[in-house]
Amino acid sequence: MAQRRELIAVMDFGSQYTQLIARKVRENNVYAEIVSHRISARELKKRKPIGVILSGGPASVYAEKAPELDPAILEMGVPVLGVCYGMQLVVKHLGGQVRGAARREYGRSNLDVCDSADLFEGLPWSLVAWMSHGDSVEKLPVEFTVLARTRDCPYAAVRHTGGSIFGIQFHPEVHHTEHGSQILRNFLYKVCGASGSWRMSSYITEAIAEIRAKVGGEHVVLGLSGGVDSSVAAVLLQRAVGGQLTCIFVDNGLLRKGERDSVAETFGRQFDMDLRVVDAGERFLAGLKGVIDPEEKRKVIGRLFIDVFREESRRIADVKFLAQGTLYPDVIESTSAFGGPTSVIKSHHNVGGLPEELGFELIEPLRYLFKDEVRKVARELKLPHALVVRHPFPGPGLAVRIVGEVTAERLALLRECDAIFIEEIRRAGLYEEIWQALCVLLPVQSVGVMGDERTYESVLAVRAVDSVDGMTADWFRMPHEVLDRIGSRIVSEVRGVNRVVYDISSKPPSTIEWE
Ligand code: XMP
């Protein structure tokens, strides 16, 4: 995305907290974007950042293939804050030394502040900081002053005499660091001179302007799934280029009850978009016939989706652009700070996964946002509340919630169970407390008794999880009376299921979906 005014560039050295830094900066009303650690000073300069934050990272600065920093970045005259590994890199480049510490410092540490001129202005002299490092600075370059220390770390925060390069060994971005957000805020406002004018609404205005500039008079297609990401992307595109947008919704037959109608109603009627609904259920079912292996299912569905999408988009004249609701986590899941391959747990497929071979130019207006930020944008855009809070739903749909073969009958069964499950969760007022809730139809039959009859029917697993980003999750502590209603309603109302079990696994070691 093109440069924005008052940009903070967060350079990613592979820390699991990089995204959190960007997010905390935005929460302080300054726009932040994550950039690769490979960016050169020249490229960075073009983006005109008002400050640069160097993230932490798992490597050791002297290790072979450790992610490096273009040292010219330290001479750009733009304020730099190095966090953990980022600080160690700064020290290494400016003539200091970093060593494996005698003692690893991990978790909470007491930080004693000895200079509160800028970063620590307005903060107590002693506070709890969260540390996570094996290496530490052994020798500080001469031009640096110490701002804070802990028992094991004499250089917990340092400042270059020039006044605009800082290093901190702890993590201000994590929740456990007291006043962490204030420390970042001090960097942004007192060191970088930010004005704090950025708001989520600015994101919308800027995104729309950028889309307009890029698209000109050309035509755009967008794969709409009905989820919040593609919906927000669609509404942004519509606001930007109106009639030049066509949305394609592929009904793969693997959707939940009422989903297709609600998408058609919301986007086709309420938002008055040019929406093409493609009825491809039969085709997907045929492709999935006899397929049991989860990865194979995902591949079949992914391939068919592309075929159907391609065929439909060819019916629209002169399409130049493909818009999609790719989010920042999708971007980092597929690339790593070291550029190496990340291990494939599941080959995710979503409408954001269309390949380049389609031959369109990409527009990804959400690629720097996190899910909760997209929800904020959705609210600003006045998308229906139900859509804004909708639980995530996987691209391969109910197919990955049917263990074993996907058939029309098993789909129908699962759809009914899912509708009851979600209805009861809503009725109990829990829908928005739960991150995701789903039913899984098992290829297991069990004996039951109904009336005086013996039954031999399917087992259904129900699962609800707490999560922030889907990367880790814990099972939701569902009240027993709600579980009770769910279980008895499903067994009595859905013919073909005589037993319901509740999944109490967390991720890791399990995953959220069963396949
Ligand atoms: P797992 O099962 O990997 O799921 O713990 C994490 C989150 O990702 C969703 N998910 C998908 N989303 N395409 C998607 O768009 C997919 O292929 C896919 N597989 C899993 C899952 O529902 C959960 O929210």
- Quote the pLDDT of residue 175: 81
Q: How far is the CA of 424 from the centre of ligand 1 (A)?
A: 23
Mean pLDDT taken over the chain: 91
pLDDT of residue 336: 44
First to last CA, the chain: 34
Task: Tell me if 352 CB under 6 Å of ligand 1.
Answer: no
The pLDDT of 420-427, averaged and rounded, is 98
Give pLDDT, residue 327: 82
Listed in sequence order, the residues at least 6 apart from 507 whose beta carbon sits closer than 8 Å to its beta carbon are 465, 467, 471, 472, 473, 474
Contact 328, 1 (CB under 8 A): no
Tell me what pLDDT residue 350 has. Answer: 55
Ligand 1 and 182: CB distance under 6 A: no
- Does the pLDDT value for residue 277 go beyond 50? yes
* Annotated catalytic residue, options 6, 105, 173, 373: 173
Confidence of residue 333 (pLDDT cuts 50, 70, 90): low
pLDDT (0 to 100) of residue 104 = 74
Average pLDDT over residues 394-401: 96
Q: How far is the CA of 443 from the centre of ligand 1 (A)?
A: 21
pLDDT average, residue stretch 274-294: 98
Task: Return the ligand 1 atom nearest residue 513 CA.
Answer: 2
Question: Does residue 513's CB lie within 6 angstroms of at least one atom of ligand 1?
Answer: yes
Query: Is the CB of 391 within 6 Å of ligand 1?
Result: no
Q: Is 144 helix (H, G, I), strand (E, B) or coil?
A: strand
Catalytic residue among 84, 153, 192, 417, which? 84
Query: Does residue 409 register a pLDDT over 50?
Result: yes
Query: Is any atom of ligand 1 closer than 6 Å to the C-beta of 436?
Result: yes
- Residue 469 pLDDT greater than 80, yes or no: no
pLDDT, residue 2, reads: 41
**pLDDT tens, 70-126?**
999 999 999 999 999 999 999 999 999 998 866 777 888 999 999 999 999 999 999
**472 C-alpha vs ligand 1 centroid, how far in Å?**
12
Q: Please compute the mean of the pLDDT values over residues 425-434 and round it to a whole number.
A: 98
**Closest residue (by CA) to atom 14 of ligand 1?**
394
How large a percentage of the chain has pLDDT more than 90? 78
Q: So what's the pLDDT on residue 255?
A: 98
Q: Are 83 and 171 in contact (CB under 8 A)?
A: yes
User: Does any ligand 1 atom lie closer than 6 A to the CB of residue 470?
Assistant: yes
| Distances 425 to 32, 185, 389, 420 between C-alpha atoms, Å | 37, 40, 14, 9
CA of 483 to the centre of ligand 1 (A): 24
Specify whether the CB–CB gap between 475 and 468 falls below 8 A: no
Adjacent-strand bridge partners of 100: 135
Residue nearest to atom 4 of ligand 1 (CA): 512
SS3 114: coil
| Block residue for tokens 């597929």 | 334
- Nearest-angstrom CA–CA distance, 346 and 348: 6
Secondary structure percentages of the chain, helix, strand, coil, to 5: 35, 25, 40
Q: Tell me if 472 CB under 6 Å of ligand 1.
A: no
More reliable by pLDDT, 58 or 440: 440
Averaged pLDDT for residues 28-42: 93
Cα 147–Cα 148–Cα 149 angle in degrees, nearest 5: 140
Amino acid (1-letter code) at residue 251: D
Residue ID of nearest Cα to ligand 1 atom 6: 470
Question: Could you tell me if the CB of 325 is within 6 A of ligand 1?
Answer: no
- pLDDT attached to residue 1: 42
Cα 155 to averaged position of ligand 1 atoms, centre (Å): 42
pLDDT at 338 over 90: no
Q: What is the band of 345 on the pLDDT scale with cuts at 50, 70, 90?
A: low
Is 176 assigned a catalytic role?
no
Cα separations in angstroms, 426 against 270, 401, 434, 488, 513: 24, 21, 10, 17, 21
- How much is the pTM? 0.77
Dist CA 13 CA 27 (whole Å): 22
- Alpha carbon of 90 to those of 64, 287, 378: distances in Å? 17, 55, 39
Is residue 312 part of the annotated active site? The answer reads no
Q: Name the more confident of 307 and 175.
A: 307
In angstroms, the CA 366 to CA 374 distance is 7
**What is the H or E stretch that residue 228 is in?**
helix 228-241
Q: How does pLDDT run across 176-193, given as a tens digit for each residue? A: 899 999 999 999 999 999
Per-residue pLDDT at 328 exceeds 80? no
For residue 187, the 8-state DSSP code is: I
Query: Which residue ranges form the domains of the chain, and what is each CATH number?
Result: 7-191 (3.40.50.880), 200-388 (3.40.50.620), 407-502 (3.30.300.10)
Average pLDDT over residues 417-429: 98
From the CA of 32, how far away is ligand 1's center (Å)? 27
Confidence class of residue 340 from pLDDT cuts 50, 70 and 90? very low
b (16+ CB within 10 A) / e for 226-260: bbbbbbbbbbbbbbbbeebbbbbbbbbbbbbbebb
> Is 364 designated active site?
no
